[in-house]
Chain A
Amino acid sequence: MTDLYREAEALLPLPAATFHILMAVADDDRHGYAIIQEIADRTGGTLRLSAGTLYRSIQRMLEQGLIVEPRQRPARDDDDERRRYYRITPLGTAVAKAEARRLEDLVNMARARGLAPRKV
């Protein structure tokens, strides 16, 4: 675990797009368009990744081992042969968690200085 932890720490801070993509595939395997949709829904439409940004990030995340293309595809009605799905890896999960922790620490520090609203 410590190895994974150290490996994850080395990749921080994450680019925003990467963090969002990790969150989008955290609970379920998704294809490219679904990732864009999921991010747009989650952010209330404020963040809409472009195709180029998405696949550039995906390429790098594949190389870094944060995501993989699973062998079995989800059995869904709307599955399309051409689509490629992405699944988060244990390293991807570790990295997302580490990034979340990093951001939380940051927010806590800001809070201590009165720069963010107190927790209720």
Chain B
Amino acid sequence: MRAYRWLLRLYPASFRHEYGAEMAAMFARRLRDAGGPVSRLSVWTSTLGEVVANASLVHFDILRQDLRYTMRTLARTPGFAMTAILIVALGIGATTAAFSVTDFVLIRPLPFAAPDRLVKLYERIPGFSRLELSAPNYRDWTQANRSYERIGLYHLTTANMLGAAEPLSVAGAAVTAGLFPTLGVQPLIGRFIVDGEDRTGAPGVVLLSYRLWQTQFGGDPGILGRRLTLDAESYSVIGVMPREFRFPFSGTQLWIAMRFGEQDDADRNNYWLYAVGRLRAGVTIDQARVEMQTMAARSRQQYPKENANVDAAVFRLSDEVSEQSRLLLLALCGAAGCVLLIACANLANLLLARALGRRRELAVRTAIGAGRERMVRQLLTESLLLAAAGGALGVAVARTAVPLLNRLVPLTLPIAGVPAVDSRVLLFAIALTAITGVAFGLAPVLSAGGDAGLAALHEGSRSGGGRREPLRAALVVAEIIASVVLLVSAGLLIRALWTIQAVDPGFKADHVLTLGTGLPARQYGKVAAREAFYSRVLSEVRALPGVVNAAYGSYVPLGKMRGGLWPVAVDANPIVPGTRDIAFIRFVTPGYFATFGIPIKAGREISEADVQDREPFAAIVSESFVKRYWPGKTAASALGRHITFGFAGRVVVGVAGDVKMRGLERQAEPQVYLSHRQVADDGIIGYIPRSLAVRTAADPAAFAPAIRAIIRRVDPTLPVSDVSRLTEIVEDDTASRQAQLRVIGAFAVIAFVLAGIGIHGLLSFAVSQRAQEIGVRMALGAQGRDILRLIVWRTFRLALAGIAPGLALAYVSGRAMQALLFGIAPSDIPTYSAAVGLTLLMTLAGTVLPTLRALRVDPIASIRTE
């Protein structure tokens, strides 16, 4: 019988209290009538099923009833319902959007088989923690290695693809046969590259990305075996990768076999290979690291000259996110958390106020027999319903907001560029909604469901009157704290952004158009062939009316390609590999400095006279180069000095201003500019000038069609890519910050408004509850001034209680994101003053209406009711 009583607990308490005793009596009777053990057992089994089924039905009945009741009461107070739903929607929308991006970039496992076992191998030299591998070091380090099941290699490449409607510049990767099996993927159709196809002289094979297959070949199912021309070489299509496969980056469109040549094996200081390894089951990343470093130590002894400072580094594949990206996202999450907190506090406050207003109703319901459990259930249903409606709206908010955040997804990850609001994110939102609904619905439940009782009935309409509301005040204080933190954080980030945007990139970005023309090595490896191309294009472009100047250079500063650090030696010293003696290598045509507006501080710029057979070769170095290698010397004194760089001795003929090659937030590293003609034929082919820059008198974008036409005339097979204003490229450098700041700024505004509403709500309620008291005071001679002091003082205390801890917390969060602040102190006085000023303003604004209402209290009416 005890078992049956226990089983009855499945029913709601109210139902159990009402009918439990009779049901138990009935069950006892049935059991008595049953007789033998077999039929007793059958009574038990049938009862078990019956109780479970009926109990859930009773629960469902109650839920339906509660929902109907809730809908009715909410429909009677649409203002309250709308406000509550909107507040929850903002909180959950903000948090869900921030979570979906953060989860996408930082948490979610990469879309490969057993991704936690995938690592990337690097070389490390002082100053560079992640350097690509040189082929001989890679061989030596991995040959006897027992940590990896498999290793695949790749390097990035861009190819001009012929065969589509227009010549197309396509980003791709050259990979070894081991790469795809290491990642643990399968092709959608066709096959992978096999051993032997990644050797010199093997016929060219290519795998296409799903997107390239769809956009350029219409998803042709007969694509396998089709021949394509990539950089004037013929390749045959052997497969198409699945739609969601992106490696190494989201923009990679094709994969060709990497073909090792003899000379690739020779140079230990040519860092060009990326390696992905799959750890053997049971091997930890630390074990792999130790083993690699042992190998590296051995090769340091073996090759003391080339490998002098070289060490090995192993990172998880999922760790290819820069510290800055990580911080930007974490700051975003923190801000979203603040918004959610404020929203929840506001919701709890609304529900509390409503519960207080409904004490009488609740007391009446209790008096006519509704049990406490039913009341709690009813109130929870209401808050959960509000939270669910808010949550649904919040997900819609997040869906709209997430695409705005795609700038926060680093392009260096093998994932899509835009996060999806998928089932994982939805689950998060649902959990958040449930927690919000229960946790913040519980406050009023506890205060109203508890001792509502007869006290409320007696109290009449004055229920809650004159009482202080410590819980509600605490919630408002929490809102103020969170909004101060948000205001300060947003302020600090704005100040940092302004400072960065004010940084001089070293060139004049306005009125410059940049275009990429991917000159293939095969046709343009020879200096003469290049020269013919450049001189025709440049002279025709310069002849366009409105064009001020034009030049070709290796890469656009602050553009996509920011590499090219080469070993350098100055004066008579020899090159020591593996040291920090390095500089950016850039080949340029005459007119480069004038076109970019880079000032020449001493000497001259590259001229038409700097040709292949004129020695010594000329070099223009940056001021940072002079500072680094000839410390204390002036720019002019560097002229005529000798450097060894780019496989040749060169003489400094000019010193140029520093250019921020790798980002506005970074120091300008030493730069060396060389004449594109002063290099061996087919030498340093990766850095031949492929970027055209054109300085114009009017909007540079208007010149794009004319320039394209000129390039097409000179070489119809050359695709033109990356057409953009130089100003846009500079702007792009801070794009992720701007995106983050826009969102955090929006969060701060939301928080600000919500906190204001919270204060307004609390004070309005307090004033309406204390109207009688105020009336009596006025009747007893209190002036409007006194009443004003009463309310303003209350507000001021609330504001102070929130501002003080808010500032402390803001400082803590400022310290946490110091790396993002670009030199702005986390205790930046102007930011804090502005935040405090705004918060005081907000609290005062929240006071205005309640104060006016208090002043309009009629003393006579108050006394009459007393």
Check B51 against A59 for contact (C-beta < 8 Å). Answer: no
Nearest CB of chain B from residue A15's CB, rounded to whole Å:
11
| CA A78 to CA B47, docked complex, whole Å | 27
> Given A55-B15, A56-B57, is A50 in contact with B22 using a C-beta cutoff of 8 Å?
no
Q: Which B residues are CB-close (under 8 A) to A31?
A: 22
B29, CB-defined interface residue at 8 Å: yes
Nearest CB of chain A from residue B16's CB, rounded to whole Å:
10
Most buried by A among B22, B46, B50: B22
Q: Which A residues are CB-close (under 8 A) to B27?
A: 51
Check A56 against B21 for contact (C-beta < 8 Å). Answer: no
Q: Which A residues are CB-close (under 8 A) to B23?
A: 51-52, 55
Nearest CB of chain A from residue B331's CB, rounded to whole Å:
54
Q: Which B residues are CB-close (under 8 A) to A60?
A: 61
Q: Which A residues are CB-close (under 8 A) to B19?
A: 32, 51, 55, 58-59
A5, CB-defined interface residue at 8 Å: no
A53, CB-defined interface residue at 8 Å: yes
B58, CB-defined interface residue at 8 Å: yes
| CA A31 to CA B25, docked complex, whole Å | 12
Nearest CB of chain B from residue A37's CB, rounded to whole Å:
10
Check A59 against B50 for contact (C-beta < 8 Å). Answer: no
| Chain B: CB-nearest residue to A82 | B21
Nearest CB of chain A from residue B31's CB, rounded to whole Å:
12
Q: Which A residues are CB-close (under 8 A) to B22?
A: 31-33, 51, 55, 82-84
Interface of A is mostly: helix
> Given A52-B51, A53-B50, is A59 in contact with B15 using a C-beta cutoff of 8 Å?
yes
B18, CB-defined interface residue at 8 Å: yes
B561, CB-defined interface residue at 8 Å: no
| CA A31 to CA B29, docked complex, whole Å | 15
| CA A36 to CA B25, docked complex, whole Å | 13
Q: Which A residues are CB-close (under 8 A) to B188?
A: none
Q: Which A residues are CB-close (under 8 A) to B50?
A: 50-53
Nearest CB of chain A from residue B138's CB, rounded to whole Å:
72
| CA A116 to CA B46, docked complex, whole Å | 34
B532, CB-defined interface residue at 8 Å: no
Q: Which A residues are CB-close (under 8 A) to B684?
A: none
Nearest CB of chain B from residue A24's CB, rounded to whole Å:
15
Nearest CB of chain B from residue A78's CB, rounded to whole Å:
13
Check B26 against A52 for contact (C-beta < 8 Å). Answer: no
B706, CB-defined interface residue at 8 Å: no
Q: Which B residues are CB-close (under 8 A) to A83?
A: 22
A56 CB contact (under 8 Å) in B25, B26, B61: B61
B1-43: which residues lie under 8 A (CB-CB) from chain A? 11, 15, 18-19, 21-23, 25-27, 29
| CA A84 to CA B18, docked complex, whole Å | 10
> Given A50-B50, A55-B19, A60-B61, is A36 in contact with B26 using a C-beta cutoff of 8 Å?
yes
| Chain B: CB-nearest residue to A31 | B22
Check B26 against A59 for contact (C-beta < 8 Å). Answer: no
Q: Which B residues are CB-close (under 8 A) to A56?
A: 15, 54, 57-58, 61
Nearest CB of chain B from residue A57's CB, rounded to whole Å:
10
| Chain A: CB-nearest residue to B46 | A50
| Chain A: CB-nearest residue to B4 | A51
| CA A51 to CA B25, docked complex, whole Å | 10
A50 CB contact (under 8 Å) in B18, B29, B54: B54
Nearest CB of chain B from residue A72's CB, rounded to whole Å:
19
| CA A60 to CA B27, docked complex, whole Å | 22
Nearest CB of chain B from residue A53's CB, rounded to whole Å:
6
Nearest CB of chain A from residue B24's CB, rounded to whole Å:
9
Check B29 against A59 for contact (C-beta < 8 Å). Answer: no
| Chain A: CB-nearest residue to B55 | A52
A6-39: which residues lie under 8 A (CB-CB) from chain B? 31-33, 36
| CA A105 to CA B652, docked complex, whole Å | 109
Q: Which B residues are CB-close (under 8 A) to A50?
A: 46-47, 50, 54
Nearest CB of chain B from residue A9's CB, rounded to whole Å:
20
Nearest CB of chain A from residue B378's CB, rounded to whole Å:
15
B790, CB-defined interface residue at 8 Å: no
| Chain A: CB-nearest residue to B50 | A50
B43-86 vs A: 1/0 string, CB under 8 Å?
00011001101110110010000000000000000000000000
Q: Which B residues are CB-close (under 8 A) to A59?
A: 15, 18-19, 58, 61
Q: Which A residues are CB-close (under 8 A) to B47?
A: 50
B270-306 vs A: 1/0 string, CB under 8 Å?
0000000000000000000000000000000000000
A52 CB contact (under 8 Å) in B25, B54, B61: B54
Nearest CB of chain A from residue B21's CB, rounded to whole Å:
6
Q: Which A residues are CB-close (under 8 A) to B25?
A: 33, 82
| CA A50 to CA B57, docked complex, whole Å | 14
A-to-B contact residues, CB < 8 Å: 31-33, 36, 50-53, 55-56, 58-60, 82-84
Q: List 24 A-B contacts (CB under 8 A).
A: A32-B19, A33-B29, A36-B26, A50-B47, A50-B54, A51-B22, A51-B50, A52-B51, A52-B53, A52-B54, A52-B55, A53-B50, A53-B54, A55-B15, A55-B22, A55-B23, A56-B15, A56-B54, A56-B57, A56-B58, A58-B19, A82-B21, A82-B22, A82-B25
Q: Which 3 pairs of residues, A with B, have the shortest CB-CB distance?
A: A52-B54, A55-B19, A50-B50
9 A-B pairs besides A33-B25, A56-B54 with CB distance below 8 A are A36-B26, A51-B22, A51-B27, A52-B51, A52-B58, A55-B15, A56-B15, A58-B19, A59-B18
